[in-house]
C-alpha cells in the first residue's frame, strides 16, 4: 500500500484489500452520462467556469428535449474538489432571463450563498458573477439555480467534496446519480414547469434504457451518491445486495448510524450516499420504486392513442393533452387547468381506460418506430376477460425493446431484450467477474472520443 498516512496508522494484523480500510487518496467520482467540469489552477485557487444556458438533452434515443442546464448538459457537469480547497467559480448567464446560483449546503459567507434578492442581485441575462470561497467540508453537495422554475428546467449539478484521506472503509468505485423529472408532453420538446405530474424521470439526464449502467468488478466496495431535485421524493432500490447509508446532504454519517437496507428514500433537496460490497455477481437493477417513475413518456392519453384511431376527448387533441400553442399555462385563454395535470381530468371528466388488446394486433399498426424491436404483445387468449386488463398504459414488455438503439460498451453482454423492461429512473449495477469487467473496460477505451448516444456533444471549454 502506498497510502501517505499508512506509516502513522497502527500496524494491521493481516493483509487487507483497498476496500477494507480508509486512508490514501479517495477515488474520483464517476457521473455516468454527465461530464466532469475541468478546472485550472490560479495560484492556490481551483477555478471553474459554469455557463447557465439552454441545452438540447437526448433523454432516450430520438427524444431530444429543450432544457436549461450548464455547459451543454442538464444536469450540469460534476465539480469535484477536496476538503480545504480554495475554489473560484465563474458563473456566466447565457439564459434569456436572470438566474442565480446557490451552493446547496455550503458553509460559506452569506454574500457567496447565491440567494437571489437577499444575498445578491440575480445574475442578469448576459451577466457574470464570480464566487470564491474556501471549503472545509466533505460529502455529496450540489449546485442549482435558486429560481424555482429554473430548477424544473434542469438547472442542477453535483458538487462532490472529497475528504483529504479516503473514508474508512475505502471504496473502489464512487458513482453519482442525479434524479430529475420533467413534464414533457408528446410532440413538444419543452417541459411544462408548472405541471404537477411528470412523465419523464431521469438519472443523470437519461431515462432507461438510455441510462449507462454502473460497472463494478466482483468484490469491490461501491459508493453511490444519490441527489434529488424535483417535485417528488424517490425511493431508490438496489437488487441483490444490502447497503448502508453512509452520508447525507450534510456530509458523512457516523458508522453507528449505519443499518442494512436496500431502499433509500431520497427526498427533494437531499442527497444520500449508499455503500455496499458488490459480492453478488449479476446485472442488478437500481431504480426508483415508484411505479410511475419506471415508465417513459407516460400521459393519460398515450395508451388509447397507441391502439386505436383518434380518441374521445372533450377538447381537440392538442388542448386535450395539455399542449400549449399560445399563451402560458395560466393565461386567460388556457385557464389554470393546464398547470395541474397532463390534460385529462383537468379539463373534463372522461374515462380513459384502454381499448381491448389482442395478441397479434398491436401497437405496431400505429407505432412503427425504426429501431424498436416491435413484436406482438405477449398476452393470453382470454386476456380481455380478466378484470384489470389492459392497464391504463402498456409501458413495458418485449415490444418496447431497443437494445441496438442504446448499444454501448457498458451494456455489452446484457440479456437480449433487456431494454424493453427498463424505463424512467432505472439503471443497472453490473457486478462482473474479472474477465467480463476487463472486456467492457477495453471496449470503453476503444470508444473513447466517440459519443454514440448523444447528438449534442458536450461543450468544450478552453482553460488555457
Ligand atoms: Cu421516483
Please tell me the distance between residue 57's alpha carbon and the centre of ligand 1 in angstroms.
20
Percent of the chain with pLDDT over 90: 63
Q: C-alpha angle 17/19/20, rounded to 5°? A: 70
* C-alpha 444 to ligand 1 mean position (Å): 30
Least confident segment among 169-178, 202-211, 335-344, 408-417: 335-344
Q: How confident is the model at residue 296 (pLDDT cuts 50, 70, 90)?
A: confident
- Range 399-415 average pLDDT: 90
Q: Could you tell me the distance, in angstroms and rounded to a whole number, from the CA of residue 411 to the centre of ligand 1?
A: 23
Residue with the bigger pLDDT between 194 and 114: it is 114
Q: Above 50 in pLDDT, residue 245? A: yes
**Could you tell me the distance, in angstroms and rounded to a whole number, from the CA of residue 198 to the centre of ligand 1?**
10
| Pick from 52-56, 144-148, 359-363, 446-450: least confident | 359-363
Q: How far is the CA of 379 from the centre of ligand 1 (A)?
A: 28
Is pLDDT above 80 for 76? yes
Which of 209-223, 326-340, 398-412 shows the lowest mean pLDDT across its residues?
326-340
Task: Tell me the pLDDT tens digit for each residue of 32-44.
Answer: 999 999 999 999 9
Q: What is the pTM of this model?
A: 0.80
Q: Average pLDDT of 244-259?
A: 97
* Distance (Å) from CA 235 to ligand 1 centroid: 6
Could you read off the pLDDT of 7-30 as tens digits, one per residue? 333 343 433 444 445 568 999 999
Listed residue (330, 296, 56, 302) closest to 193, CA to CA: 330
Q: How confident is the model at residue 372 (pLDDT cuts 50, 70, 90)?
A: low
- Residues bordering ligand 1, an ion, CB closer than 5 Å: 234, 288, 290, 293
| Banded model confidence at residue 344, pLDDT cuts 50, 70, 90 | very low
Q: How confident is the model at residue 382 (pLDDT cuts 50, 70, 90)?
A: confident
Task: Output the pLDDT for position 348.
Answer: 40
- pLDDT tops 90 at residue 317: no
- Quote the mean pLDDT of the chain: 82
- Give residue 90 CA to ligand 1 midpoint distance, Å: 33
If one compares 453 and 103, the residue with the highest pLDDT of the two is 103
Q: Does position 280 have pLDDT exceeding 50, yes or no?
A: yes
pLDDT of residue 193: 85
Between the CA of 180 and the centroid of ligand 1 the distance, in Å, is 9
Strands 63-70 vs 86-93: parallel, antiparallel or unpaired: unpaired
* pLDDT classification of 309: cutoffs 50, 70, 90: very low
The whole-number pLDDT of residue 223 equals: 98
In the chain, what's the furthest Cα-to-Cα distance?
Answer: 76
How far is ligand 1, taken at its centre, from the CA of residue 412, in Å?
27
Q: How far is the CA of 392 from the centre of ligand 1 (A)?
A: 19
Q: If you measure from the C-alpha of residue 233 to the centroid of ligand 1, how many angstroms do you get, rounded to a whole number? A: 6
Amino acid at each position: 500500500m502506498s497510502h501517505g498516512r499508512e506509516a502513522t496508522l497502527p500496524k494491521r494484523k493481516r493483509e487487507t484489500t483497498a476496500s477494507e480500510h480508509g486512508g490514501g487518496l479517495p477515488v474520483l467520482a464517476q457521473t455516468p452520462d454527465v461530464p466532469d467540469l475541468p478546472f485550472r489552477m490560479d495560484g492556490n485557487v481551483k477555478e471553474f467556469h459554469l455557463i447557465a444556458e439552454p441545452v438540447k438533452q437526448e433523454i432516450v434515443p430520438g427524444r431530444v428535449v429543450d432544457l436549461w442546464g450548464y455547459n451543454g448538459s442538464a444536469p450540469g457537469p460534476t465539480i469535484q474538489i477536496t476538503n480545504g480547497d480554495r475554489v473560484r467559480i465563474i458563473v456566466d448567464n447565457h439564459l434569456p432571463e436572470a438566474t442565480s446560483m446557490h451552493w446547496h449546503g455550503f458553509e460559506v459567507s452569506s454574500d457567496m450563498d447565491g440567494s437571489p434578492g437577499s444575498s445578491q442581485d440575480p445574475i442578469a441575462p448576459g451577466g457574470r458573477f464570480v464566487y470564491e470561497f474556501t471549503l472545509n467540508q466533505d460529502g455529496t453537495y450540489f449546485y442549482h439555480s435558486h429560481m424555482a422554475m429554473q430548477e424544473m428546467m434542469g438547472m442542477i449539478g453535483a458538487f462532490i467534496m472529497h475528504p483529504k484521506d479516503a473514508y474508512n472503509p475505502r471504496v473502489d468505485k464512487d458513482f453519482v446519480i442525479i434524479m430529475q423529472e420533467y413534464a414533457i408532453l408528446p410532440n413538444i420538446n419543452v417541459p411544462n414547469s408548472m405541471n404537477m405530474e411528470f412523465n419523464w424521470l431521469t438519472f443523470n439526464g437519461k431515462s432507461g434504457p438510455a441510462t449507462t449502467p454502473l460497472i463494478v468488478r466482483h468484490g469491490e466496495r461501491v459508493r453511490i451518491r444519490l441527489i434529488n431535485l424535483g417535485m417528488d421524493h424517490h425511493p431508490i432500490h438496489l437488487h441483490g445486495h444490502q447497503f448502508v447509508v453512509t452520508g447525507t446532504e450534510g456530509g458523512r454519517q457516523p458508522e453507528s448510524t449505519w443499518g442494512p437496507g436496500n431502499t433509500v428514500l431520497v427526498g427533494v433537496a437531499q442527497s444520500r450516499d449508499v455503500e455496499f460490497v458488490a459480492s453478488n455477481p449479476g446485472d442488478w437493477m437500481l431504480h426508483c420504486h415508484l411505479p410511475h417513475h419506471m415508465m417513459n413518456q407516460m400521459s393519460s392519453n398515450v395508451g388509447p392513442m397507441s391502439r386505436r384511431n383518434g380518441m374521445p376527448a372533450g377538447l381537440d387533441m392538442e388542448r386535450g393533452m395539455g399542449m400549449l400553442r399560445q399563451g402560458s399555462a395560466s393565461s386567460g385563454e388556457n385557464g389554470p387547468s393546464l398547470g395541474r395535470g397532463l390534460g385529462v381530468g383537468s379539463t373534463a371528466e372522461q374515462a380513459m381506460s384502454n381499448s381491448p388488446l389482442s395478441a397479434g394486433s398491436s401497437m405496431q399498426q400505429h407505432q412503427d418506430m425504426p429501431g424498436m424491436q416491435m413484436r406482438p404483445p405477449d398476452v393470453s387468449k382470454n386476456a380481455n376477460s380478466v378484470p384489470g386488463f389492459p392497464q391504463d398504459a402498456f409501458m413495458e414488455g418485449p415490444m418496447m425493446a431497443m437494445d441496438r438503439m442504446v448499444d454501448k460498451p457498458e451494456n455489452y453482454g446484457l440479456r437480449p431484450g433487456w431494454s424493453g423492461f427498463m424505463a424512467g429512473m432505472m439503471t443497472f449495477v453490473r457486478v462482473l467477474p474479472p474477465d467480463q469487467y476487463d472486456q467492457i473496460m477495453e471496449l470503453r477505451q476503444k470508444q473513447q472520443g466517440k459519443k454514440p448516444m448523444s447528438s449534442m456533444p458536450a461543450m468544450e471549454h478552453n482553460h488555457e
